Amino acid sequence: MTRKPLVFLALLMPALAIAQGAAVQWGSTDKPYRTPLDGMKGYYEPEKLVRNGDVLSFTVYRSADPVVPDVVGKYMVNCETREYATVEGGKPSSPMKLLPGEQLYPVSAKLCEWPDGKGYFKQFF
């Protein structure tokens, strides 16, 4: 009597394994990703970067996982004037000058493609 349930279970196991394999979300590696930011402990989503003329808008997150909604801050950077503003409640703050050495500067320099990277100061020395 005890063998019949074991035989039945042994025959049922492969069917369960196949059913579980069908539940796997294959192709889910194409989901959005977050890129680490230079000079900051944060990440941004390149596909959500918004360019409106000279102004870039982006959101900084704490986690690399795009499923986690852990916003550090929302920023707008004017690539022409080198100013930035923080966005809270959908409204930007007044613009502030973005200076080298500030935490947001390396990110802005990369996204705005400013030519004054490491070689900028070498020109003077």
The pLDDT averaged over each successive group of 10 residues in the chain (125 residues) is 59 57 58 79 90 94 88 94 94 94 89 72 49
SS3 18: helix
φ, ψ dihedrals at 121, nearest 5°: -75, -25
pLDDT of residue 9: 57
Tell me the pTM.
0.66
According to the model, what pLDDT value does residue 23 have? 59
The C-alpha atoms of residue 76 and residue 51 are separated, in whole angstroms, by 10
* Confidence (pLDDT) at 121: 52
